[in-house]
Amino acid sequence: MRKIISLFMRDYAGTRLVYDEVAPGAEWVAAGEGVATRKFDGTCCMVRDGVLFKRYDAKVGRTPPAGFEPTEEGPNEHTGHWPGWLAVGDGPEDRWHREAFTAPRIDGTYELIGPKVQGNPEHADSHDLVLHGCEPLSDAPRDFSGLKTYLAAHDIEGIVWHHPDGRMVKIKGKDFGVRRETKP
């Protein structure tokens, strides 16, 4: 899964928050195109041909491990992130992935959520895989101030808009300085 662009421009030199200027390539969201869906806070995974993969970020200076499948040509110039996939293994570092992957899943990308993932901001009782795009948000605004207010009022990580042609754009509460409680 390629990195998804943010809806608004970010102040990389200062606060790292977004400001009220639509990012290049995200204009279609502001124009009312695409479907808004809930962004879950966990860790990205992919099911392909019955195999579970976890997202791996080979940041600048890190040598990707054997089996790394990059989703971009190289690291992002601003963040140094270089996302890719690694097959989930038998080691203890993949325990929660294996716990969630107990039933067959359709091919696609998922979010691993649960008690031992990211401080459990989704308040899940067990580890699970949530299919990306599964929860539409028909009431989500598309403007800067409306989104800041919406994300402050809803206990969600953010929003991902899905265009019919496959493009995606995201915005997170933390992009505006909105924080979530991680433990119930």
Q: Tell me, what amino acid is at 100?
A: A
Please provide the size of the chain in residues: 184
Q: Are strands 128-131 and 108-113 parallel, antiparallel or unpaired?
A: antiparallel
Location of structure tokens 């040598």: 63
* 11-46 per-position pLDDT tens digit: 999 999 999 999 999 999 999 999 999 999 999 999
Question: For residue 184, is pLDDT > 90?
Answer: no
Rounded to two decimals, what is the model's pTM?
0.92
User: What pLDDT is attached to residue 80?
Assistant: 86
Predicted pLDDT of residue 182: 63
pLDDT computed for residue 183 by the predictor: 59
pLDDT at 28: 98
CA-CA distance, 50 to 70, in Å (whole number)?
Answer: 20
Distance, C-alpha 81 to centroid of its chain = 13
C-alpha span between 172 and 53 (Å, rounded): 24
